[in-house]
Amino acid sequence: MSSSYNNTISSSSTQSFLLSSAATGSNNFNREETAMTMIQQPNSVAPPPPPKKRRNQPGNSYPDAEVIALSPKTIMATNRFLCEVCNKGFQREQNLQLHRRGHNLPWKLKQKSNKEVRRKVYICPEPTCVHHDPSRALGDLTGIKKHYYRKHGEKKWNCEKCSKRYAVQSDWKAHSKTCGTKEYRCDCGTIFSR
């Protein structure tokens, strides 16, 4: 059958449907919507899916944040807070305060305050780095530490299987779990692991 014949049948059945609903005096609005739905071709193309949401563009998402510039020595320090009695080092001030109790020294833990805390962002100390610009600062201390080690630090950890080098131990551990487990075979017969 031709498509014009199908359209004629569809059109005439819609008209008779609309006439019968007008004669009954029932809710014409809903019936007209139903009739319009019946007119649509069954092979019509569905609308395209909405575009994927993109990641936020780089830039300072916290324009009123306090910008902190740490030295490379401070970033690479493992124990920033030292006990004045035994010279034991701690990564966090809270841990040092808890340690001070053991020496019977005055100590005080930070309390949660009701006032709004100003957010801090950290810039990279390397002048040529894109994260040296305050508008591209990183949002937390761990982030700036890992960034500095990865991009500007010494790569201390080696993969024993593929000899790839890593500056952050957690990156090396994650790589070691999957290295050599996936193989890709080329048409020529060569096997690749990555």
Residues 131 and 168 placed together within one structural domain of the fold = no
Q: With 80 as the cut, is the pLDDT of residue 10 above it?
A: no
Residues 126 and 190 placed together within one structural domain of the fold = no
166 is a domain residue: yes
Q: Which domain holds residue 172?
A: 155-194
Given a contact cutoff of 8 angstroms between Cβ atoms, the answer to whether 129 and 151 are in contact is yes
Q: How far apart are CA 78 and CA 60, in angstroms?
A: 28
Domain count across the chain: 2
Residues 93 and 145 placed together within one structural domain of the fold = yes
Identify the residue with better confidence: 116 or 144: 144
Residues 88 and 134 placed together within one structural domain of the fold = yes
78 is a domain residue: yes
Residues 124 and 187 placed together within one structural domain of the fold = no
Residues 141 and 184 placed together within one structural domain of the fold = no
Given a contact cutoff of 8 angstroms between Cβ atoms, the answer to whether 132 and 144 are in contact is no
Residues 101 and 137 placed together within one structural domain of the fold = yes
How many Cα atoms are found within 13 Å in the side-chain-facing hemisphere of 132?
A: 10
55 is a domain residue: no
Of 192, 160, 153, give the one whose Cα is nearest residue 176: 160
* Structure token digits, residue 143: 């982030």
Residues 142 and 160 placed together within one structural domain of the fold = no
Of 167, 149, 148, give the one whose Cα is nearest residue 157: 167
pLDDT in tens, 137-181: 888 888 898 899 999 988 999 998 888 999 988 899 998 888 877
Where do the H-state alpha helices sit in the chain? 3-24, 28-39, 72-76, 93-102, 141-152, 169-178
Residues 147 and 161 placed together within one structural domain of the fold = no
pTM: 0.53
1 is a domain residue: no
183 is a domain residue: yes
pLDDT in tens, 49-90: 777 766 655 555 677 888 889 888 888 888 878 888 898 988
Rg over CA atoms, the chain: 33
